[in-house]
Amino acid sequence: MHLLPLEEEDLLSVQKPARYIDGEWGIINKNWEDNPLRFCLVYPDIYEIGMSNAAIHILYYLLNDIKGVLCDRAFSPWEDMDSLLQARSFPIFALQTGKPLSQFTVLGFSLQHELNYTNFLQILHLAHIPFLSSQRTEEHPLIIAGGPACFNPEPLAPFIDAFVIGEGEEVIKEIIEVIRQGETREAILETLTHIEGLYVPKFYNPLYNEKGELLGFEISANAPKKVRKRIVKDLENSFYPHTWITPYIQIVHDRPAVEIFRGCTRGCRFCQAGMVTRPVRELSADKIVNLACALASYTGSEEVSLIALNPTDHSQIKEITSRLSLLLSPLRIGLTLSSLRIDTFSVEIAEAIQRVRKSTLTFAPETNQRLRRVINKNISDEEIFMAIDSALSLGWSSFKFYFMIGLPEEKEDDITEIAQLVRDILRMGRGKIKRIHISVSPFMPKPHTPFQWRPQMSIPILQKRMQLLRKLLKDGRIDVDFHSPYMSFIETALARGDRRISSVIFKAWCKGCRMDSWEGHFDFSRWLSAFADVNIDPYRYVEREIPYEEPLPWDVIDVGVSKEFLMNENEKARRGETTPDCRFDTCAKCGVCPSLRE
């Protein structure tokens, strides 16, 4: 167990010291000296969040499976450990080896969402690594980032050497080979531009006019004009571990997970994940069952989770859940699905996942029936009632629903209809429903979606609609949780930002912004002050409708979905027209299959 550079009394002085020690069940210990290429997976949030991310487990085992490569992990320290490291002048260290992050060959950051950006800078600060890529030398690690937030890489472009755009299982091996053969940092970065799915910011210079408006990019001769996202085409035969790291402490998703398919063609117009992860690729039922049983046996966990954007969309989901239920329930091992889609929820699936224990069922109606046509969420109120009725008949009594407010074309009457829908669900429960939890988030326009051009609703209007919904849902059986519109404002500003936003992120970090995804730590005034300090108007990024002809900071990234398709979907939203799912209907001509040679 590595406590260095800390003493035992240091560790006992902080909350949850198990966040900072190694030795968990399932780790792989490789000798530092025998493995000249050292890779550290870094998650810029606390251990309990990072270890709940399946990608950390997949990449950890994949990298450690490569000869000559050692892979370790690191996470953002909580404020008590952060203060302790700085007070003692100790650099942040990796979990297993106890080595400072600055001694690794590569630091691979997982960027899941924009409010982790200041945590990313804080980790570099604690590691004594220069923030700017241009200031780092041959002595410093290569800083690589991947994850959903990288589909607009520009806000962090000055700080990161290379971005992985898309899926990392294959591309990470190619990166390793380039680093092994590269003699200098410059040569490595230049070679990385030739790998599909790699965006190296130094070869893309943004151009602005005198008003500060983005005109496009000046691109180096050897770099691709657009960086096409990387996908794993043969998911069935791709790497997936049969082992899983089991933490000492409870984490957010405290169970092993099997990713049963990737991609989504439902076409919800607000959903970035549904656009950037296309096309759909499934694992076979046999492989899923084998993986789930192996992980359950190895970890001793009380549950195994099947994960995907919409797990019940898997073409064999009834067979999968039935087989796993029969195999796992005698061992008192439960089966969970990461989310449930109302129109594919069935009694058979419900019976399979409730054999061991009944957890709260979670659905995402998003809004009322009129606006579901606008956002292309093709479910009806009748389907919602049918799903709830099926669940009630099987003994469920607690439900969670996700809703959004501030959607394009939304009116105040739509908020009233959301409340009426919830009250109708309570009434149909005939006293059987003990608790309903409602989670409400503001709509945020994200890159590579049909709504990427739309404005976000202003904070005062969002607050007014939240107050209305809270008033209408005042009931002892209903808990309502609202996501902060202030946090959503900053998240949108960062998500739609260009490279100049990097100076805002740095200023916010200088002002003490840390752990911004945690409501108790988020400080809106500091962020507004940071924007003011660098003379950038955040409202221009958040509350402005972007003209179609205006260049977008993420235009240099090709996710396969054509801009023409996104524009057409945005216009269909204005007319309240829907687009069917191409898996079950005609091709929607989004462009993914031909552009990715699928």
Q: Which has the closest alpha carbon to 106: 161, 53, 67?
A: 161
Domain of 46, CATH number, reads 3.40.50.2300
Q: What is the pLDDT of residue 496?
A: 98
Residue 134 lies in a domain: yes
Helices (H), 300-399: 317-328, 347-353, 369-375, 381-393
Does 595 score more than 80 pLDDT?
no
Q: What is the pLDDT of residue 2?
A: 53
Does 355 score more than 80 pLDDT?
no
Q: How many domains does the chain have?
A: 1
Q: What is the pLDDT of residue 361?
A: 84
- What's the Rg (C-alpha) of the chain? 24
In terms of pLDDT, which residue wins out, 347 or 281?
281
DSSP for residue 143: E
Does 9 score more than 90 pLDDT?
no
Q: pLDDT, tens digit, for every residue of 124-143?
A: 999 999 999 999 999 999 99
Across the range 548-577, mean pLDDT stands at 97
Compute how many other C-beta atoms are within 10 angstroms of the C-beta atom of residue 237.
10
490: left (phi over 0), alpha (psi -120 to 50) or beta: alpha
Residue 357 lies in a domain: no
Q: Which has the closest alpha carbon to 459: 537, 405, 379, 392?
A: 405
Across the range 450-470, mean pLDDT stands at 98
- Compute the distance between CA of residue 188 and CA of residue 106 in angstroms, rounded to an integer: 12
**Residues facing 366 on adjacent strands:** 403
Q: What is the pLDDT of residue 362?
A: 87
Q: pLDDT, tens digit, for every residue of 301-316?
A: 999 999 999 999 999 9
Side by side, which strands form the sheet with 162-164? 69-75, 37-43, 106-110, 142-146, 162-164, 198-199
| Percent over 90 (pLDDT), the chain | 86
Compute how many other C-beta atoms are within 10 angstroms of the C-beta atom of residue 212.
12
Q: Which has the closest alpha carbon to 253: 244, 262, 242?
A: 244
Q: What is the pLDDT of residue 340?
A: 79
Across the range 418-425, mean pLDDT stands at 95
Q: pLDDT, tens digit, for every residue of 161-175?
A: 999 999 999 999 999
Side by side, which strands form the sheet with 303-307? 257-259, 303-307, 334-337
Orientation of helix 79-87 relative to helix 117-126, angle to 10°: 30
- Compute the distance between CA of residue 85 and CA of residue 11 in angstroms, rounded to an integer: 11
Across the range 342-362, mean pLDDT stands at 78
Q: pLDDT, tens digit, for every residue of 32-76?
A: 999 999 999 999 999 999 999 999 999 999 999 999 999 999 999
Residue 54 lies in a domain: yes
Strands 227-228 and 281-282 come out as unpaired
* Token pair recorded at residue 503: 């100076």
pLDDT-based confidence at residue 356 (cuts at 50, 70, 90): low
DSSP run (H or E) holding 363: strand 361-366
Residue 115 lies in a domain: yes
Q: Which residues, 6+ apart, have CB-to-CB distance to 188 below 8 Å?
A: 142, 178, 179, 182
Amino acid making up residue 521: H
Residue 202 lies in a domain: yes
Residue with tokens 């001509």: 589
DSSP run (H or E) holding 303: strand 303-307
Q: What is the pLDDT of residue 396?
A: 86
Q: Which has the closest alpha carbon to 477: 418, 411, 422, 545?
A: 422
- Separation in Å, CA 60 to CA 53, 70, 71, 340: 11, 9, 6, 28
Q: What is the pLDDT of residue 429?
A: 81
Across the range 539-561, mean pLDDT stands at 97
Across the range 208-228, mean pLDDT stands at 94
- Compute the distance between CA of residue 164 and CA of residue 162 in angstroms, rounded to an integer: 7
523: left (phi over 0), alpha (psi -120 to 50) or beta: beta
Burial class of residue 520 in the structure, from the number of CB atoms within 10 Å of its CB (0-12 exposed, 13-18 middle, 19+ buried): exposed
Q: What is the DSSP string of 64-87?
A: HTSTTEEEEEEEPPPHHHHHHHHH
Is the alpha carbon torsion for 306, 311, 314, 317 positive or negative?
Answer: positive
pLDDT-based confidence at residue 3 (cuts at 50, 70, 90): very low
Q: What is the pLDDT of residue 4?
A: 54
What does the mean pLDDT of the chain come to?
A: 94
Residue 430 lies in a domain: no
pLDDT-based confidence at residue 482 (cuts at 50, 70, 90): very high
Residue 206 lies in a domain: yes
Q: pLDDT, tens digit, for every residue of 100-114?
A: 999 999 999 999 999
Return the exposure string of 576-590: e unless at least 16 CB atoms fall within 10 Å of the residue's CB, then b: eebbebbeeeeebeb
Phi, psi dihedrals of residue 474, rounded to the nearest 5°: -75, 105
Strands 204-208 and 214-219 come out as antiparallel
Residue 445 lies in a domain: no
Where in the sequence is the domain holding 192, given as residue range(s)? 8-228
